[in-house]
Amino acid sequence: MAKVLLVDDNDEVRDVMRRLLENRGFFVEAFSSCERAMEAIKNSVPNVVLTDFDLGYGRMNGLQFVGELKKIHPDIPVAIITASADILEGYAEKHDFTLFKKPCDWDALITFLKQVILSK
């Protein structure tokens, strides 16, 4: 089963996304902060990472998290899901992540997940 690491500081959004992904057959580890997610990655590397950009808790935002993650695991596929997509458009290619705008197109997200997992 493919493992998805999910980071979102909003409990309700994180819970809904986790349930939707689990219902589609993914194993999901969900965290409220990048710091907690980074600790978890030290013990078990996911197949793909989904993170929000604007994370109210912790020291890092989603873009900083992607930068730190890519230093350790440069090949992990990452998607940032955010309402602030227009701010990040220029960064996606440079920092090697896929960008999804909230509200998220769930079919497109599931397609992305399946494609990156099958390509490994």
**pLDDT tens-place string over residues 39-72:** 999 999 999 999 988 776 667 788 889 999 999 9
Half-sphere exposure of 115 (CA within 13 A, CB side): 10
pLDDT for the residue 82: 84
pLDDT for the residue 98: 87
- Confidence band for 101, pLDDT divided at 50, 70 and 90: confident
**pLDDT tens-place string over residues 1-46:** 899 999 998 999 999 999 999 999 999 999 999 999 999 999 999 9
Return the CATH class of domain 3-118.
alpha beta
Closest to 4 in 3D by CA, of 33, 32, 53, 41: 41
